[in-house]
Chain A
Amino acid sequence: MDEQELMEQIKQGNEMALATLMKIYKDRLVNFLFHAVGDYERAVDLAQETFVRVYFRAHQYRPVGPVGAWIFTIASNLAKSEAKKRSKVNFVSLEEVTSELGSEGVSYDPPTTGLSRNLEQALNKLPAYYRIPLLLKDVEGFSQEEIAQMLGRPVGTIKARISRARHLLRRQLENALKGGK
């Protein structure tokens, strides 16, 4: 059964079809959202919310583009909203910190190599409007035209944002290397 058929099944309320689709995309989606929001637990929540929306909004899907692009469009919108929320409220209560430290089942080990760690930190410092297109391009491998359609922006804007994001990332890595020496 291909993805278009799976979507047709999901439109009819078939939960097994959704489970099959989740098996295909869950790891990619969690990985993308993790780098987009910088928090594993939140990334898992957002990935789950993405699939909940896929299920309830399956009737809105038009089979003109790939299913993956549609799923990543929903995920990108959620990541953008999350970034907006985080920019407004940027504090964490002590109770949350304690509970997070004690939580189990977290499938994320922080990178140990210097470059990966620096890269992750540099990526987290980028604004969401640079970070998300960059991740969609360089990590998920979507074309600039696809990203433009997914984010609802002109292709020129996306090209500029990706280029600027790469430039900023490079500069931050250079600064980190200089500081480390």
Chain B
Amino acid sequence: MADLNLKDLLPKVKAPEDFEERVLEKIRERKKARKKYFLIALRIIQRPSIMLASALMVLLILGIIFWPQIYNSQEKPEKIASSRADRFGRVEPSILSLIEPVDFLRDFADSPAKRVIYILETVNENFIPGVKY
């Protein structure tokens, strides 16, 4: 606006006489208010119930943050089994029938020498071809 000089044409206003005093007064008021709020906050924080609640809140937050790590570090037995199964090839959980012909007289004759104790339990009086484990 080359032909219109805003600086000269616009009316000029001045600050009131007590401008500085009012600003300094506002600053003092605000300082007081800040101090007051700080003390109120401090008193609230120092209350036992608030402290307890805060501590529980902190524990809860820590629990939420660290729970997945703790959970993953404690591997479940099923997980271990499945990981082993994975290692040796996938095995479907089932009952396997095994035929194990055992000659008691021969196979267990030297057991006292081996210092091995076999605890045997009769599961069937009759001969069965499959042994269930």
Contacts and interface: CB of A to CB of B under 8 A. Distances in A.
A40 B11 CA distance: 12
A98 interface: no
B9 A19 contact: no
A132 interface: no
A52 B27 CA distance: 6
B10 A139 contact: yes
Contacts of B16: 44, 105, 107
Interface in B3-19: 4-7, 9-17, 19
Contacts of B22: 48
Contacts of B100: none
A138 B14 contact: no
B26 interface: yes
A59 interface: no
A55 B12 CA distance: 26
Contacts of A15: 24, 27
B20 interface: yes
B91 interface: no
Interface of A: 15, 18-19, 22-23, 26-27, 29-31, 34-35, 40, 43-44, 47-49, 51-52, 55-56, 105, 107-111, 115-116, 119-120, 123, 134-135, 138-139, 141, 166, 169-170, 173
21 contacts: A18-B23, A18-B24, A22-B19, A26-B20, A27-B14, A29-B15, A30-B13, A30-B15, A31-B13, A34-B13, A56-B30, A107-B13, A108-B13, A110-B11, A119-B9, A120-B10, A138-B5, A139-B7, A139-B10, A170-B1, A173-B4
